[in-house]
Structure 1
Amino acid sequence: MQKKHLYLLLLIAGTAFWGISFTFVKVGIGAGSPFVFLFYKFLIAAFCLAFVFFRQLKLISVKTLKITFLIGVPLLAGTVLQTIGLQYTTVSNAAFITGLDVLLIPILKFLIYKKKIENKIWIACILALIGLYIIVVKDGLSLNSGDVLIVACAFGFAFYVLQVGKYATEENPIPAVILLMLFCAFGCLILALFDEASVWLPNTNGFWRGVLFAAIPATAFMYAVQNVGRRYLGEEKVALTYLFEPVFATIAGVFILGEDFTYQVLAGGLLIISAMFISEINFKKNPSKN
């Protein structure tokens, strides 16, 4: 099997872990502090990556520290907003709305770097906004507070992807990923210290199971595959694998948590996935000649 095919399969597996982790996180945080949960998640992920890639730790430099800070701030913001939002909205809502970051990326590129937005992006954005409206707007023009936080988290993740793309030419991304996990762990530790709901050794069902699942397959594995796989896969294919995340999240939410999966969520979700698909397909690409 060629490496590009192997990493494509690994990325799809990683998006499955991402999607399923929404359910584990929602159960894990319960009514407690999301910051404690995230602190353990990032800390365990950092140690796992450091153990596997121990020899690459010597490659850490001042430049690595700078890159870690620049990509760590938006990732930390996006993750914190998403985790808090999960306390107040459903897994399927959170997953589909988070997927909007795929559409926000080209728009932010236009606003920040003045890069032209293709017509397909405008079409995709219209479809996604309609899908978002169908999913989250209830009782007129009111939004669930959790859904609002998830929309904000999508902006955080979009900025994170832009920053990662800016430094994607680095030859050894793993040292930066390890430091990234430690940076996020430290940030969550600081937030947890100021949270009155923080319990450092929770004895609640699902907390530690949720931490381990979110830390190892959904974070350590996925971030390692994501960064190494970029050497063998184009950005277009990588982005398209993210289409699987809300699908796996919704399935997990229905079968594990017993969440309702209404026609409203189905219709809105399909529109958002269609928008993501349209935004990543290269319609101008010439078909290969025989």
Structure 2
Amino acid sequence: MTRIQANLLLLAISLIWGSAFVAQSHGMADVGPMLFTGVRFLLGAAVVAPLAWAERRKLAGHGRTLTRRDGLTIAGLGLLITAGAAMQQIGLVSTSITNAGFLTALYVPLVPVLSWLLLNQLPHWSVWPGALACLVGAFLLSGAQELNIGPGDLWVIASALPWALHVLVVGRVADRMAAPFTVACGQFLVCGLVSMAIALGTEPLSLAGLRGAAWPIVYTGVMSVAIAYTGQVIAQRYAQAADAAIILSSETLFTAVFGYLLMGDRLDDAGLFGCSLILAAMLAVQLLPLLPGRRLQAS
């Protein structure tokens, strides 16, 4: 897969995540956030499991097996997803989709910062203004002239750190193991089991609630988890983490598009300018590094 193909796949993933945001919010009407998170990630793991099983057989046929360290690494990725998804889902209980969509985008500028601090990798200079442009664009696109920070907003803000860490390391892990489906399925399974364990101790469980949330669970479990998160693991083997974060921030843009198509939402001039900023940032991080004499070497 080429870098351009990987980035196009990330763009498609953003489209899926943008369409799933409303479903995640609607799911909270019938079940608690941890139960919703646990069931949808277990469903995602079940969908990807046959591909992971075939991948493991192929690796074994070439004399390659995953080690205990690999298993612990996959479990760590699962815990990062658990933290990010759970805090975002808890936040959606008491904050608006508008605020959540913007605040989730806080992970975008965190990725190049963490890459610099933790991995000593300095990204291309275009990433820094690109990340800032995405953040401003997400704010304008959200339509919020002011943010009244409440408990739900704080949960979503906290989710930005595990999301950023996951974006930073998942591609490196999948590339080292050469087992993207196994990595995806394993992290989904860990997230699902941990979330279900928490739900059993903290939330009421009922079949009626699960039936009421069946459509949001199935849609987000199959599309958002099984397809989109697995696609992220594959794409980030070939895309830079900082570039990936900026492209994935277009989730906010697609959320607005689906709001326009499905819910009758309309963008004002500020929202249209926000869309333009996000699109410009995505183009900049793709095209500017190709210009001669403009590439910065990683330190």
> Does the C-alpha gap of structure 1 residues 55 and 166 become closer, same or farther in structure 2, counting only changes over 3 Å?
closer
Q: Which residue of structure 1 aligns with residue 60 of structure 2?
A: none
Paired residue type of 2:183: A
> Does the C-alpha gap of structure 1 residues 241 and 120 become closer, same or farther in structure 2, counting only changes over 3 Å?
closer
How do 1:262-281 residues align onto structure 2 when only pairs under 5 Å count?
271=277, 274=280, 278=284, 280-281=285-286
**Percent identical:** 24
Shift of 1:155: 1.5
- Structure 1: which 5+ runs fail to align? none
1:222 aligns with 2:228: yes
Which has the higher mean CA deviation after the structures are superposed, 234-243 or 146-155?
234-243
1:153 aligns with 2:159: yes
> Does the C-alpha gap of structure 1 residues 124 and 4 become closer, same or farther in structure 2, counting only changes over 3 Å?
closer
Cα distance in 2 for residues equivalent to 1:206 and 1:256 = 20
TM-score by length of 1: 0.79
Shift of 1:255: 4.6
Question: Equivalent of 1:179, from 178, 182, 186?
Answer: 186
Shift of 1:194: 2.3
User: C-alpha offsets along residues 199-218 of structure 1, whole Å, 9 cap, x if unaligned?
Assistant: 24234775110000101111
Cα distance in 1 for residues equivalent to 2:239 and 2:55 = 25
Q: Is the 8 A contact 1:75 1:160 kept in 2?
A: yes
Shift of 1:281: 3.8
1:234 aligns with 2:239: yes
Paired residue type of 1:40: V
Cα distance in 2 for residues equivalent to 1:127 and 1:191 = 37
Q: Is the 8 A contact 2:111 2:245 kept in 1?
A: no
| Matched residue SS, 2:70 | helix
Higher helix fraction (1 or 2): 2
How do 1:235-254 residues align onto structure 2 when only pairs under 5 Å count?
235=240, 238-239=244-245, 241-254=247-260
Question: Equivalent of 2:83, from 77, 82, 105?
Answer: 77
1:285 aligns with 2:290: yes
Q: Is the 8 A contact 1:33 1:195 kept in 2?
A: no
Which has the higher mean CA deviation after the structures are superposed, 81-90 or 40-49?
81-90
Q: Is the 8 A contact 1:99 1:154 kept in 2?
A: yes
Cα distance in 2 for residues equivalent to 1:119 and 1:11 = 21
User: C-alpha offsets along residues 174-197 of structure 1, whole Å, 9 cap, x if unaligned?
Assistant: 11211111100111012102214x
Q: Which residue of structure 2 aligns with residue 44 of structure 1?
A: 43
Shift of 1:83: 1.1
> Does the C-alpha gap of structure 1 residues 189 and 90 become closer, same or farther in structure 2, counting only changes over 3 Å?
same
> Does the C-alpha gap of structure 1 residues 271 and 151 become closer, same or farther in structure 2, counting only changes over 3 Å?
farther
Cα distance in 2 for residues equivalent to 1:136 and 1:248 = 14
Report the aligned-residue RMSD. 3.4
User: C-alpha offsets along residues 109-158 of structure 1, whole Å, 9 cap, x if unaligned?
Assistant: 2232344466544434554565566658766x742433332222122110
Q: Is the 8 A contact 2:171 2:233 kept in 1?
A: no
Cα distance in 1 for residues equivalent to 2:282 and 2:151 = 24
How do 1:130-149 residues align onto structure 2 when only pairs under 5 Å count?
130=136, 142-149=148-155
Q: Which residue of structure 2 aligns with residue 189 of structure 1?
A: 196
Question: Equivalent of 2:72, from 57, 66, 83?
Answer: 66
Q: Is the 8 A contact 2:78 2:189 kept in 1?
A: no
Paired residue type of 2:201: F
Paired residue type of 1:43: L
- Structure 2: which 5+ runs fail to align? 58-64, 293-299
Number of equivalent positions? 283
Q: Which residue of structure 1 aligns with residue 297 of structure 2?
A: none
Question: Equivalent of 1:106, from 105, 112, 115?
Answer: 112
Shift of 1:49: 0.6
Cα distance in 1 for residues equivalent to 2:134 and 2:43 = 35
Q: Is the 8 A contact 2:27 2:36 kept in 1?
A: yes
